[in-house]
Amino acid sequence: MLDERSKKVLCAVVQNYIDFPDPVGSRTVAKRYSFGLSPATIRNIMADLEEMGFLTQPHTSAGRVPTDRGYRFYVDSLVAGGDYYLNIDILQELYKRLKALKNDIDMFLGETTKTLSMLSHYIGVAMSPRPDMTTLKRIELLKYKADKVAAILFTDEGLIKNKVISLDSEVSQKDLNRIATYLNSEFSGYTFDEIRLRVIKEMSKAKTMCDSLISKAIKICQEALYFFRGDLFVSGLSEVLELPDFTDLKKIRELSRAIEDKHTIIKLLDKLSEFEGVQIIIGSENSMDEMEKFSVVVSACKEGDRPIGVVGIIGPTRMNYAKAIYIVDNTAKFITKMLVER
Amino acid sequence: MLDERSKKVLCAVVQNYIDFPDPVGSRTVAKRYSFGLSPATIRNIMADLEEMGFLTQPHTSAGRVPTDRGYRFYVDSLVAGGDYYLNIDILQELYKRLKALKNDIDMFLGETTKTLSMLSHYIGVAMSPRPDMTTLKRIELLKYKADKVAAILFTDEGLIKNKVISLDSEVSQKDLNRIATYLNSEFSGYTFDEIRLRVIKEMSKAKTMCDSLISKAIKICQEALYFFRGDLFVSGLSEVLELPDFTDLKKIRELSRAIEDKHTIIKLLDKLSEFEGVQIIIGSENSMDEMEKFSVVVSACKEGDRPIGVVGIIGPTRMNYAKAIYIVDNTAKFITKMLVER
DNA sequence: TTTTAGCACTCTCAATAGTTCAGTGCTAAT
DNA sequence: ATTAGCACTGAACTATTGAGAGTGCTAAAA
């Protein structure tokens, strides 16, 4: 439906618009990309492309600008061609810095987003695994104050989380150890969501039962898991504010609200984390209205089948996709490798 | 140096400018605040106030706008008069929600900033204590993977932090327990900075010594404390973007950079955390250039002499100080009370 | 001596109009 | 099928103008 020549013109327009943030005219295309065609011919082709919904004009006498569909075509041919941006030296350098932090997942992810945004000049995002996919490796209970217990949760993904739990009555460290042993034997190896379900079941049983230690154990377990959730890390808002795409105050507000909410972005990343490889969402392809004006390039990090996090970049639809894809792909691969061999 | 009438006019101008974001003219002042004086007289007074540096004109034929010095005078008389904004119902409501999180300091501070920004419509900030003021209560070591140990640090302030440490050789849980006991007997009750210093001393000793357990202990301790630092929580950028004060793209960029840096704000809060009660920094009173256009209202939370955190609000110099002071003061007091009785 | 009325003056802001310019669509010639 | 030519369009920039808000100053009033 799109002949070779039209494809080339379309890609040229998109590429040029990505490189220079002004609507691109037929003259520019004819000149800068040696098609051996006159501006008039290019004009006709561009008019066709507009009719097909790949390009639009901001106003009658301006050049053309890609629509989301136009970007999509461009990105697809980019991926098909496999020609991304290359800049290996810088990446390796930065990854070295990251490696030093691998033992502290929070700091690690925080630093990852900073690296992503620094490299791309867009917004870097990273998310730790969703609780329903996180498997409990071990739980330890440490007596804290008289009626308080610190629960330390170790997960297979390498996360360590602690949570203080208030109890009705004082419990000795010895009892806590017994409770921990019980919980470990019972729940180790299960995902947090599975545990939550089983805990609910046990609780109804526990009521009729009178082993107070077990009922305490169940209660502790429930509380320990309660607030556990995937954390979202975001950085680089100031980077995108430098772009000419963000001179519109309204757009900036929307973006900063979306970032502070976290909710929208978490939902989005959650959805994308199931897939293999780099995922690209362009503008309105996104189902969330708040993100309609932005593009998202993400990749899940998996250890075998188990997702251990998501990293990505958020930027304007007029994004340097080649670079973004390259950075995200490599970062995800690096993290995966690093976490697996840990 | 400033007669009663001038003071009143000055405060009226500032108040009016805070309420309505336009330069205020003599007519407005005469009308809205019943001085029983004609605009002409007010005009003369305002001209004097300008000469003394309390007011300026954006341009010749505009009304007047407070300078930072003008705000300072206004705030001082506000504080002296003790007349802040009152709205007890809402606060209590919100504090209830916060209380549920008090066992998780990170979540608690995060939620505190959200509450602060929601109440004030400015930026909420909260910082956990500086490491040099944080005292170690207890350290626990849990064997993680073969050559890895999870160190769990409990502080007197109620913080719990965990850090994974890689060792050169495998150590049994039993040995870890002995190490922990040693570290606790040695360092419990000291601030992190004191411990750091002592650890450095011990290390030079340990070299000549050959008790490998102790040298291991020292190494673990050093690593455990290494990355420990006060955390800064910020939220509400999207709130201030709605204000008419932030239509200037440059200002927005500056602010968002400052927030992402964290460094500037941490330094600032650090400095202010020594003082008792609510501290107010107006615009250029601040030594950091990046914050020149903003005002900061903060209060440290202390348990006796020991600081346990800082909370505050960042907004435009044209800030509703009465409200901000009231909110910060109450929030700090609430947190202090809550943390102490914990 | 202090306050006020009056008035000329200054500066911004919004609306209007003229000009330039990039880029288009269409038509007719190649 | 391609291209040159040309009229047309709409944005962006540049005056120019008038209205309006607020000032400073002066001279009169209290």
Structure confidence by residue, pLDDT tens digits, B70-88: 999 999 999 998 877 777 6
What are the structural domains, with CATH classification, of chain A? 4-81 (1.10.10.10), 88-130+230-340 (3.30.450.40), 132-226 (3.30.390.60)
Query: In whole numbers, what is the pLDDT of chain B averaged over residues?
Result: 89
The secondary structure of B265-291 as a DSSP string is HHHHHHHHTTSSSEEEEEGGGSS-GGG
Say whether pLDDT at B326 is over 90.
yes
pLDDT, one tens digit per residue, over A122-176 is 999 999 887 777 889 999 999 988 788 999 999 887 788 888 888 888 889 999 9
**Residue found by looking up tokens 């209560």 in the block:** B137
Say whether pLDDT at B332 is over 70.
yes
Say whether pLDDT at B59 is over 80.
yes
CB B127 within 8 A of CB B274: no
CB A312 within 8 A of CB A324: no
**Residue A97 CB-density burial (10 A; 0-12 exposed, 13-18 middle, 19+ buried):** exposed
Contact assignment for B237 to A247 by CB distance below 8 Å: no
Query: In whole numbers, what is the pLDDT of chain A averaged over residues?
Result: 89
**Residue found by looking up tokens 């972005």 in the block:** A265
Q: Which of B162, B235, B256 has its CB closest to that of A160?
A: B162
Q: Residue A255: closest CA among chain B residues belongs to which residue?
A: B238
Compare B112 and B134 and report the one with higher pLDDT.
Answer: B112
- What pLDDT sits at residue B118? 93
Compare B210 and B121 and report the one with higher pLDDT.
Answer: B121
Both tokens of A52, joined, read 């097909």
Ordered alpha helix ranges (H), chain B: 4-19, 26-32, 39-51, 68-81, 88-99, 105-120, 173-187, 192-208, 212-226, 237-241, 249-261, 263-272, 321-340
What residues of B are in contact with residue A165 (Cβ under 8 Å)? Answer: 103
| Strands of B64-134, DSSP E | 65-66, 123-127
Residue A272 to residue A308: CA distance in whole angstroms: 13
- What pLDDT sits at residue A102? 79
- What pLDDT sits at residue A242? 93
pLDDT bucket at B121, cuts 50 / 70 / 90: very high
Residue B102 to residue B338: CA distance in whole angstroms: 8
Compare A340 and B26 and report the one with higher pLDDT.
Answer: B26
What residues of B are in contact with residue A237 (Cβ under 8 Å)? Answer: 237, 256, 260
Q: Residue B150: closest CA among chain A residues belongs to which residue?
A: A160
Residue A71 to residue A38: CA distance in whole angstroms: 24
Q: Which of B103, B140, B247 has its CB closest to that of A142?
A: B140
Does residue B57 reach within 7 angstroms of strand C, measured from its CB?
Answer: no
Q: How many Å lie between the alpha carbon of B98 and the closest alpha carbon of chain A?
A: 14
CB A71 within 8 A of CB A317: yes
**Closest C-alpha among B301, B298, B297 to residue B332:** B301
Question: Choosing among B237, B247, B264, B290, which should be mutated to test the A contact, i.e. which has the most A CBs within 10 A?
Answer: B237
pLDDT, one tens digit per residue, over A263-283 is 899 999 989 988 999 999 999
The angle at the Cα of B299, spanning B298 to B302, to the nearest 5 degrees, equals: 155
**Residue found by looking up tokens 């990170």 in the block:** B106
Q: Which residues of chain A have pLDDT under 50?
A: none
At a CB cut-off of 8 Å and minimum separation 6, what does A36 contact?
none
Both tokens of A274, joined, read 């199931």
- What pLDDT sits at residue B210? 55
Whether A260 and chain B come into contact, CB under 8 Å, resolves to yes
Q: How far is the CA of A28 from the C1' of D5 (A)?
A: 19
Residue A268 corresponds to which amino acid? L
Q: Residue A159: closest CA among chain B residues belongs to which residue?
A: B164
Residue B252 to residue B260: CA distance in whole angstroms: 12
pLDDT bucket at B130, cuts 50 / 70 / 90: confident
- What pLDDT sits at residue A207? 58
Contact assignment for B163 to A104 by CB distance below 8 Å: yes
- What pLDDT sits at residue A210? 56
**Closest C-alpha among B115, B69, B72, B71 to residue B93:** B115
The average pLDDT across B326-342 equals 86
Q: Which of B107, B164, B227 has its CB closest to that of A160?
A: B164
Residue B123 to residue B314: CA distance in whole angstroms: 5
Whether A92 and chain B come into contact, CB under 8 Å, resolves to no
